Amino acid sequence: MLKPLEQWSCDTCNRIIEKPEGGRVEWISSNGCASGFKIVHSSRQCSQYADHEFLADADLDEFRGVRGLIMLNLLLDAGPWDAAAPAGMAVTAAKDFVALVCRLHILYYEEARHSLPDVKVEGLFGGPLEPSPSTSEGLKAIIEGSRR
């Protein structure tokens, strides 16, 4: 099991990024638009955009915790403290961006995300008091259910 919010699966090689210092977040930044967000090992061979003209990237560790949420928000908008600043990037694929935020900030999301399409496991989310797949408890149940 991945250590939640400390380990990730590399989008290129699918191996575990053992600690935040070993990973990078990369995306394409072009004409004020950001797209194609990936979490990868820091090595050049795992970069999906190493040779891309519009590669943007940063250490994965910079996107963790409260500081990381601020960094992610800054990609979208400079914030209320600088009203004169232009808006940040237009995220062309909001689903990609939301998935990145979930992967970096929601307990168990990273490991459960590949099982989310199969979440209709009978009995897993049956009643009103059961965890839902939108909670960390639900995501943990998905992980445990996929191992049965």
Cβ 54 vs Cβ 89: under 8 Å: no
Select from 2, 7, 12, 145 the one that contacts Zn ion (CB under 5 A): 12
Region from 33-41, 64-72, 96-104, 118-126 binding Zn ion, contact rule CB under 5 A: 33-41
Grouping H, G, I as helix, E, B as strand and the rest as coil, residue 137 is helix
Q: Among 3, 6, 13, 132, which residue interacts with Zn ion (rule: CB under 5 A)?
A: 13
- Least distance (Å) between residue 8 CB and Zn ion: 10
User: Judged by CB under 5 A, does residue 75 bind Zn ion?
Assistant: no
- On whether the CB atoms of residues 146 and 118 are closer than 8 A, the answer is yes
What is the residue whose two structure tokens read 């009995």? 123
Binding residue (CB under 5 A) for Zn ion from 41, 68, 91, 104: 41
Shortest distance (Å) from residue 43 CB to Zn ion: 7
Distance of closest approach, residue 40 Cβ to Zn ion, in angstroms: 5
| Residue number, 42 or 136, with CB nearest to Zn ion | 42
The residue among 129, 41, 53, 135 whose CA lies nearest residue 143 is 135
Contact residues for 112 (Cβ-Cβ < 8 A; gap 6+): 133, 139, 140, 142, 143, 146
List the structure tokens of 5: 């919010």
* Residue in the shown chain whose Cβ atom is closest to Zn ion: 10
